[in-house]
Amino acid sequence: MGDSAPPCPTESTVPDLALPLPRDPASVDVDPDASEALLPGPRVRSWDRRLATAVSGAASPPALVAVMMALQASVSGDSDRWLWASVYISCAVLIPLAYLVHLFKHGQVGDLDLRRRRQRIKPQLVTVGCLGTAWALLRLGSAPMPMAAVAGALLLQSVAILGTTLRWKISVHCATAAGAGVLVWSIFGAVLPVLAAVLLVAWSRLRLKYHSPAQAAGGALLGLAIFGFSL
């Protein structure tokens, strides 16, 4: 007696291989160069994407904040200006950055750019607290008033960014770059180079697809408004 043919699978016996869809489509990170991964050989990124990555890294908010305070200190005539700059950078830049790296190493955030809006809230809360502490140290101490003014503008901007992030993702890169641009303009009077630099940062965030045009424009306008009013 020969072997009987295996029964055909019915709908009840076929396993359900469908993957669950994410609740929030915006939470899925799509690699804009994913098609390149299908090509044989090593993955090669386009030159403009490499440039955008370099610009975005160089214009990271922690780096720009440190440069802004150092720049303001360099044009101050006070003898203890570099001491106060060091105090501010340690409190307002290094502590929040260390906290972000801690979150990343423990898997609480997906990347250091914080592309998911909800993952930005905790680091921004810590940033606001550190910026507020740093501003209070400069304001209540004997720090030069222009340095305290820059610290106050950065604090106000951080609070505005946190409030916005609770409902909508905004570009912190563009906001910080625009604020730095206003500071450079107020010191040196250079307009066109500053405008070109801000537009370059905005382009890099759009090219990497980390932000929409509205998010980049919103960040830039926020930085321009707050620093234009504060300085």
What radius of gyration do the chain's Cα atoms show?
Answer: 24
Instruction: Name residues whose C-beta falls within 8 Å of residue 70's C-beta, 6 or more positions apart in sequence.
Output: 85, 89
Residue 231's pLDDT is 82
Q: Could you give the angle at which helices 47-58 and 192-207 cross, rounded to 10 degrees?
A: 120
Residue 130's pLDDT is 98
Residue 78's pLDDT is 85
Residue 33's pLDDT is 33
Residue 205's pLDDT is 97
User: Can you give the residue ranges of every domain in the chain?
Assistant: 61-230
Instruction: Name residues whose C-beta falls within 8 Å of residue 9's C-beta, 6 or more positions apart in sequence.
Output: none
Residue 8's pLDDT is 52
Residue 179: CB atoms within 10 Å:
31
C-alpha to C-alpha distance for 179 and 65, rounded to whole angstroms = 9
The DSSP-derived string for 164-220 is: HHTTS---HHHHHHHHHHHHHHHHH---HHHHHHHHHHHHHHHHTTSS-HHHHHHHH
C-alpha to C-alpha distance for 206 and 199, rounded to whole angstroms = 10
- pTM score: 0.80
C-alpha to C-alpha distance for 176 and 190, rounded to whole angstroms = 17
Cα 155-156-157 angle, rounded to 5 deg: 90
Residue 57: CB atoms within 10 Å:
12
Which segments of the chain have a pLDDT < 50?
Answer: 1, 9-42
